């Protein structure tokens, strides 16, 4: 199980938060960037974030929550950071074109699936992606409560993947903490956790709780 830590909500400054994640046992730094159109929230300090990300050494796990115009501009800046992987909305008119472009930059490409997304509408992308990012909250805000129907959606994705004998991995983002991770652990390769880690003083302790095996006591 890989742990990707989001800095969307933290008790520390951006610089300090990124430094703490970078020095922690997390596998990735998760980067959420929003345009205020595709989702209600907007990343007002995106320039500062992009600048600070140049200082980190841990692999970047990026999710762009944007319509075409903002995505066109932002993705060029993201490419400069050479992220490990990059997820884009499945709802874009030109999703397939962007997936090909991401791959051309030697970055793992993925689609993000929102809670209301029907799997039937996006399974056409499954043979073109390296991973699926399943949102277990409605995207745009940190600190939300985990949606219980996420497990059903994960099971549906796995059935579709197995039926087509595909190899893409699965990540889950939203409301992930010590109790909710147990619901998704059997069905995914990576979880994204934000406030559970970044609202604490000891990042490694929180990450260890997420990586904890069932019935094991730290």
Express each pLDDT in 161-205 by its tens digit. 999 999 999 999 999 999 999 999 999 999 999 999 999 999 999
Contact 102, 86 (CB under 8 A): yes
The pLDDT of residue 217 is: 36
Separation of alpha carbons 136 and 150, rounded Å:
6
The pLDDT of residue 40 is: 84
> Greatest CA separation found in the chain?
48
Tell me the HSE value of 180 on the side-chain side, using a 13 A CA sphere: 20
Q: Classify 145 as helix, strand or coil.
A: coil
Residue 1 pLDDT > 60, yes or no? yes
pTM of this structure: 0.93
Express each pLDDT in 2-26 by its tens digit. 999 999 999 999 999 999 999 999 9
State the average pLDDT for the chain. 93
Confidence grade of residue 218 (pLDDT, cut at 50, 70, 90)? very low
Candidates 40, 47, 52; CA nearest to 7 is 52
Separation of alpha carbons 196 and 206, rounded Å:
7
Candidates 2, 1, 5, 3; CA nearest to 195 is 5
Residue 77 pLDDT > 90, yes or no? yes
Q: Which helix (H) or strand (E) holds 199?
A: none
């Amino acid at each position: 199980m890989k742990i990707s830590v989001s800095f969307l909500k933290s008790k520390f400054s951006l610089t300090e938060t990124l430094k703490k994640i970078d020095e922690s046992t997390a596998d990735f730094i998760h980067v959420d960037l929003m345009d205020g159109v595709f989702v209600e929230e907007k990343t007002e300090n995106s320039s500062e974030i992009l600048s600070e990300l140049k200082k980190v050494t841990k692999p970047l796990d990026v999710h762009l929550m944007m319509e075409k115009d903002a995505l066109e501009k932002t993705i060029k800046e993201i490419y400069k950071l050479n992220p490990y992987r990059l997820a884009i909305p499945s709802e874009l008119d030109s999703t397939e074109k962007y997936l090909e472009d991401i791959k051309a930059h030697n970055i793992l490409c993925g689609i993000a699936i929102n809670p209301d997304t029907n799997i039937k509408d996006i399974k056409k992308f499954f043979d073109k992606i390296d991973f699926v990012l399943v949102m277990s909250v409605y995207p745009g805000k940190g600190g939300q409560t985990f949606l219980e129907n996420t497990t059903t959606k994960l099971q549906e994705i796995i059935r579709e993947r197995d039926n087509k004998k595909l190899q893409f991995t699965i990540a889950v983002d939203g409301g992930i903490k010590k109790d909710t991770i147990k619901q998704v652990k059997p069905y995914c390769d990576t979880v994204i956790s934000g406030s559970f880690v970044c609202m604490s003083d000891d990042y490694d302790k929180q990450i260890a709780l997420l990586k904890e095996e069932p019935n094991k006591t730290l």
